[in-house]
Amino acid sequence: EEIMSQDTQIIAESKRQQLNFIIDSTVLDAFEVCPTEMKYRYIDSLALKGQGKAKGLEKGELIHIPLKHYYDGLKLGKDWKENTQYATEKMLKYSTKLQLEDKEIQNIITTFLSYCEFYRFERWSTLETEKPFRIVIYEDNELRIIAQGKIDLIVDTGQMITPVDHKSESQRYPFNENGNQPKCYC
């Protein structure tokens, strides 16, 4: 029985007399900080009055659109310039669905194009883009906890196959190697 919408990223279902609790790393991180706040936000879908979707989330969502198309194009061997232009067009089309100002969208386009130029001659081979996964992180007779997510990019560097997670934060934070996202990737 599904007790939440797919949008919330937590699904509880019952199969074979065992409760399957499916959760993504962001929600798992929130649970570790404050289980009550996690319940209010992700299970009860409560938000502070006047609080909509955070701009940072919309910006991150927007930059992922051209990156997926860009790397899919590289995987297919498309011309760099045409591929970059195509990915930018996809981003512009998607941007109309968001509440971002034109200046913010232009900033994201500039960031994307700078990224493409910087990595233009990178020797990585793209294997997968936006690859979904589910992994059992706990199980007993009554409960199974399944972490789910989506790896932005999987590449072959020539030395190893590795996941790549695109970050688009305007501020720099130290990487949390003990966070749930890198643990799930491993």
pLDDT band, residue 5 (cuts 50/70/90): very low
d(CA 131, CA 151): 5
The yes-or-no verdict on residue 6 having pLDDT over 60 is no
Note if the pTM is more than 0.85: no
Read off φ and ψ for residue 2, nearest 5 degrees.
-85, 130
- State mean pLDDT over 176-182: 74
pLDDT band, residue 50 (cuts 50/70/90): low
Task: Answer yes or no: are the C-beta atoms of 96 and 62 closer than 8 Å.
Answer: no
- State mean pLDDT over 153-170: 88
Q: What is the DSSP letter of 7?
A: G
Residue 85: count of CB within 10 angstroms of its CB: 12
Position 48 scores a pLDDT of: 59
Position 55 scores a pLDDT of: 76
Q: Which tens digit of pLDDT belongs to each residue from 167-176?
A: 776 656 666 6
The yes-or-no verdict on residue 99 having pLDDT over 60 is yes
Task: Answer yes or no: are the C-beta atoms of 152 and 64 closer than 8 Å.
Answer: yes
Question: pLDDT > 70: what percent of the chain?
Answer: 82
d(CA 7, CA 33): 21
What are the tokens at 137? 């992180």
Q: Which tens digit of pLDDT belongs to each residue from 56-94?
A: 778 888 999 999 999 999 999 999 999 999 999 999 999
User: Mean pLDDT score of the chain, rounded to an integer?
Assistant: 83
Task: Using alpha carbons, select from 178, 185, 168 the residue that is nearest to residue 29.
Answer: 178
d(CA 169, CA 48): 23
pLDDT band, residue 11 (cuts 50/70/90): low
Position 24 scores a pLDDT of: 85
pLDDT band, residue 20 (cuts 50/70/90): confident
The yes-or-no verdict on residue 137 having pLDDT over 80 is yes
pLDDT band, residue 121 (cuts 50/70/90): very high
d(CA 1, CA 63): 35
- What is the residue whose two structure tokens read 């669905």? 97
